Amino acid sequence: MLISTGEQQSAALLSIALNSIGCDATSYTGYQIGLRTVGEYGNSEIISIDKNFLEKQLKEQKVVIVAGFQGINDSGDITTLGRGGSDTTAVALAGVLGCECRIYTDVDGVYTDDPRKNNLATKIEKISYDDMEKMSKNGAKVMETKAVVIGKKYKVPIFVGESLGSEKGTYIVE
């Protein structure tokens, strides 16, 4: 339960900030949006999300902020998804809603190698789910394998770009 509170705090604080500038935003936990999981603490997998709840909130013109990385199992326990769980949650939400997923991080896209270690690394504009999955399994930390697999399963275009950078990142697609 303790490990899941960081995401809950971030979601609540973002909601407060958006509301303070006149944007109608509400934050939710995984439990509140019906994000059901199976598996062990720290390595759970998403099995379902209540699409109807999300669509109802969006139809009311609200900005919906979901605490990533955590859900609830059949016993009612909060579970965590493990490394990359927030990205995995975002991709799963996009899959349920049938939209693109945009992941903003500290790098401006996916590179052929770690640009901090290899000056010859080049940014990839588009990469297939299969190639990104291979890179993730081989140690590329820009996207967690689980998130890529969910993106592939639900055909979610995933954009990876830098939080404070340009709009030119990498698309992970079929």
- Domain boundaries in the chain? 1-82, 100-174
Distance CA 124, CA 56 (A): 37
pTM of structure: 0.91
Q: What is the pLDDT along the chain (174 residues), one digit of tens a residue?
A: 777 888 999 999 999 999 999 999 999 999 999 999 998 788 899 999 999 999 999 999 889 999 999 999 999 999 999 988 999 999 999 999 999 999 998 889 999 988 888 999 999 999 999 999 999 999 888 899 999 999 999 999 999 999 887 678 999 999
Pairing of strands 101-105, 110-111: unpaired
Distance CA 60, CA 2 (A): 32
The total of other beta-carbon atoms located within 10 Å of residue 127's CB is 22
List Cβ neighbours of 47 (8 Å cut-off, separation of 6 or more).
36, 37, 38
Task: From the options 3.40.50.410, 3.40.980.10, 3.40.50.300, 3.40.1160.10, give the CATH code of 1-82.
Answer: 3.40.1160.10
Structure tokens, 77? 């326990």
CATH, range 100-174 = 3.40.1160.10
Distance CA 72, CA 86 (A): 15
